[in-house]
Amino acid sequence: MKKRERYDHQSLHEERRYGLFWYDWLWRIARPVLVCAAALILVAGVLLTAWDKLGERFFYPVDPNDNTPVTFVVESGNSLTTVANNLEEQGLIRNRSVLKYLMDFQGLSQKVQTGQYTLTRSMTLSEIIEQITTGDGNPITRNITIIPGWTVEDIAEYLVGAGVAETEQEVLDACNDAETYGKYYYIDEVLQTEDHDQRIYLLEGYLAPDTYEIYTNASLDSVLNMLVSQVEAVYTSSYHDRAAELGMTMDDIITLASMIEKEAKNEDFARVSAVFHGRLRQNMALGSDVTVKYYTHSDKMALTDAELSIASPYNTYLNQGLPVGPICSPSKAAIQAALYPDETFLSEGYLYFCSTSPEEGTLVFARTLEEHEKNVAIYSPLWEQYDAERGV
């Protein structure tokens, strides 16, 4: 009998049919899986692309290459909305709304901590959120101290050094801003006087000496408003009543107090006030050197006749009464002395005083011009020596 070949026509046909059956069966099973896998890959690709675009627009750093430190301050009482707005305005985040939604979602909307933070535009949204919610910031307030007797120009120099203003001229200009500071009744009263435009600085005398707590990023306007508003806290209603008894205005008292502040130490304030009040009552020129030094910017103890003769509304040698305005920021003690002069000195008629020791600030008082001239003859060599030693 003839042997059958392994792969004859019939066997090949049968195997082909059998194989196609399995291929078909496998395809029926695998096709949905492959379709789903392909769909998942496609969706994942779309989602990754969308997430990348979304992240680029909202979550990624504003500038991954910018590591420049940016000071960001969260002040006490700042809401999340305020913080988000400030972050966006300073260019530290891409979208303020996304920050708010993300922090709300993470339960961090009430976790923002006050402080001064150093952030960069290369930080991610998550990194910024972590910084401002963990309280990893520096204190946001600091103290500034305005010393009694400082002039506007002294204060301008100090505020520049304290980083409140960039230039002294910026401060000086602000101190003549009638529109901004005329809202205070005592500044408005100054503006109502006929000679207010002769003052060198509108706010001279009205920047109250004290120690103030300010925000580290406080603006010049906010600081000056703080100083000017403090005057109202110092100058109480009882002071107004007392000034009225003396026939003087608040500005008169502030002006007189500024002279007292510059002329004497605290222990002599009331006696110097008595001398000035006595002279005012007798219509005598006040003859105060410190008013001349104010507009001449002189630091000398012994002023020359030429300096004393310079025409100025501040010159109390040439003009009767008080100078046109204050010459410094007086302390509360000086204001009280202006309101309440030493009654004994006043009744005993003391009308003169001069320095006995420029370094110690002690004074000697006299009732008559003759007594005063004797005192000047004794002590003026000390003034000249003091000036010579300082090279003025």
How many C-beta neighbours within 10 Å does residue 11 have?
Answer: 12
- Answer for the pair 305, 336: CB distance below 8 angstroms, yes or no: no
Structure tokens at 257: 């107090």
Mean per-residue pLDDT over the chain, rounded: 89
Per the CB < 8 A criterion, the answer to whether 251 and 327 are in contact is no
β-partners of residue 72 are 117
> 305-314 contacts: CB < 8 A, separation 24 or more?
313/195, 313/198, 313/199, 314/200
CB contact at 8 A, 187 and 228: yes
Domain annotation for the chain: domains and CATH numbers? 70-134 (3.30.1490.480), 141-233 (no CATH), 237-390 (no CATH)
User: Going by C-beta distance under 8 Å and a sequence separation of 6 or more, which residues neighbour residue 366?
Assistant: 350, 351, 352, 353, 372, 374, 375
The pLDDT assigned to 8 comes to 56
Query: What was the pLDDT predicted at 52?
Result: 47
CA proximity to 59, closest of 88, 86, 99, 90: 99
Q: Which 3 state secondary structure label does DSSP give 315?
A: coil
- Run of H or E including 162: none
Tokens of 118: 């150093």
pLDDT along the chain (392 residues), means of 10: 52 54 58 66 54 54 91 87 93 89 89 89 91 82 95 98 96 97 97 96 98 90 97 96 98 99 97 98 97 95 93 97 98 98 97 95 97 96 92 86
Predicted TM-score (pTM) of the model is 0.74
Give 324-372 pLDDT, tens digit per residue: 999 999 999 999 999 999 999 999 999 999 999 999 999 999 999 999 9
